[in-house]
Amino acid sequence: MEKDDHSDYQLPTSFKSSRQFRTRKKPDRSIKKIDIAVNKLFHKQIEIVNNNYKLPNPNNMFSENTWSIDDLQKTKIKLNEIKNTLSDYNPAEWRNHTRKTNIAEHIRWKLKKDIDPELFTQAWCKFYEIASTFPLIPEEVNHTKQLKTIHLCEAPGAFVTSLNHWLKTNKPSIEWNWRATTLNPYYEGNSLCSMINDDRFILHTLDCWYFGTDNTGDIMNIKNLDALIDLEKDNIDKIMLITADGSVDCMDMPGEQEIIVSHLHFCEVVTALHLLSTNGTLLIKIFTFLNVKQYL
């Protein structure tokens, strides 16, 4: 009697670890679809080009009456209607749902497993993707080998650690120094709900952080904003990159997030315009731009 050949059935011939018996599987089509979808997300870019644009005369700024774009206001209404439906869901269950349906979620897990970056967060990923996709670091830096950066509303510090990783990986010869601002986590007058409850990075880099004349770190205070500008204007280093990652708690009025955050964005942009050197880059986080205050 001939011995049966079980190879066609992928059956084990001994009781070893199951890892020894990998079944032959065809490439999973769903994985390919996910890869295609993720690649589309990474290439979701919009470039606004206007070669005739000139900065307005400062004397004429904010002199027009408030106006709006009807299509954007309709979009805002629809968006808020959808947001309102989320109040019926348990927050923990909703976060779990969004995490599972995020087709790029496995990227964070893979990065943490393979690279284990310093202060790894979603913001870390955002910055690294932007730095790898766009010419965030001006060409001039490649010649001077010097880079000075300012990071507004930076806590807990993921943009800084991400930039550090990017520079060490892509431009190791560049000498880099930086300064950051944020609401001071050690100032008792600051509201706990307004601050980021994570000082792991700040604690070990305090010399690089500036909290203003009143020690709050609030750049919406004009005295702190002016003090930061004066501090850096005395510095001979050219500031070639400014990042602004600020936001404001909008839990009480989620439907008016843009209006609530617009003043902070204004202060971030004003600070950047004062400090940036010629050909420098500003990277600012804006959630949506449906309200006129976001683009005035």
pLDDT band at 166 (very low <50, low <70, confident <90, very high): very high
Query: Is 0.85 topped by the overall pTM?
Result: no
Give CA–CA dist 246/182, Å, rounded.
Answer: 8
Residue 157 marked ligand-binding: yes
* Angle between helices 122-133 and 158-170 in degrees, nearest 10: 40
Residues 25-42 have pLDDT tens digits of 555 677 777 778 777 777
Residues 213-229 have pLDDT tens digits of 999 999 999 999 999 99
pLDDT score recorded for residue 223 = 95
Give CA–CA dist 242/153, Å, rounded.
Answer: 11
Residues 76-109 have pLDDT tens digits of 899 888 888 877 888 888 888 888 888 777 888 8
In percent, how much of the chain has pLDDT > 70? 87
Sign of CA dihedral 30, 33, 35, 41: negative
| Single-letter amino acid code for the residue at 101 | T
Residues 6+ apart with CB under 8 A from 257: 250, 287, 288
Min mean pLDDT across 62-76, 135-149, 159-173 is at 62-76
pLDDT score recorded for residue 27 = 55
Residue 245 marked ligand-binding: yes
3 a catalytic residue? no
Mean pLDDT calculated for residue range 209-216: 96
| Choice among 126, 171, 238, 285 that is catalytic | 285
